[in-house]
Amino acid sequence: MSKRVLFLLLCLNVVSYLVIAEPQTCPADLGRKCTDDSGEWEGEFFPGIPKIKYEGPPSKNPLAYKWYNAEEVILGKKMKDWLRFSVAFWHTFRGTGVDPFGAPTKYWPWEDGTNSLAMAKRRMRANFEFINKLGVDRWCFHDRDIAPDGKTLEVVKFNI
């Protein structure tokens, strides 16, 4: 690697430590409250995003499947049975985009900065809205990424 490239990488690394974005707690452009008095999120988490559909290769729609047609039959099985996608909850809804060399790079508008049961429920609602709009039937999680820490199991029990 040239000295110029190494210098640029070093500068970018330093900048990532110096620039720390503040987490969003409400979508800035919706012009309405994020929650009502009960603390529940109002409306959709992904407003204006319709259910993603197959439109084929000629589609100019950036939010359309161009090659994945879930109902297309290939060798006797539907494509959705060959390609069983899932959404990884941690990586999609809990991870902040941080790496060993910098600060978090993403903040979700529904996050309130707590590790509360209400926040865990809100994340679940966002997750299920997301996978429904993608048309994905499965999701996965690991460890304790779906529930907050508590002193006992009774504390973290979901009452949905």
In this structure, is residue 10 part of a structural domain? no
Token pair in block for residue 160: 């949905």
In this structure, is residue 6 part of a structural domain? no
In this structure, is residue 15 part of a structural domain? no
142 is catalytic: yes
Q: Report how many domains make up the chain.
A: 1
Range of the domain at 46: 33-156
Report the SS3 class of residue 117.
helix
In this structure, is residue 27 part of a structural domain? no
Helix (H) or strand (E) holding 91: none
In this structure, is residue 125 part of a structural domain? yes
For position 91, what pLDDT does the model report? 85
pLDDT in tens, 89-118: 988 888 888 888 888 888 888 888 888 888
Amino acid 60 reads: K
In this structure, is residue 9 part of a structural domain? no
Which of 53, 106, 142, 157 does the annotation list as catalytic?
Answer: 142
Question: What whole-number distance in Å separates Cα of residue 44 and Cα of residue 28?
Answer: 15
pLDDT in tens, 27-44: 434 444 555 555 567 788
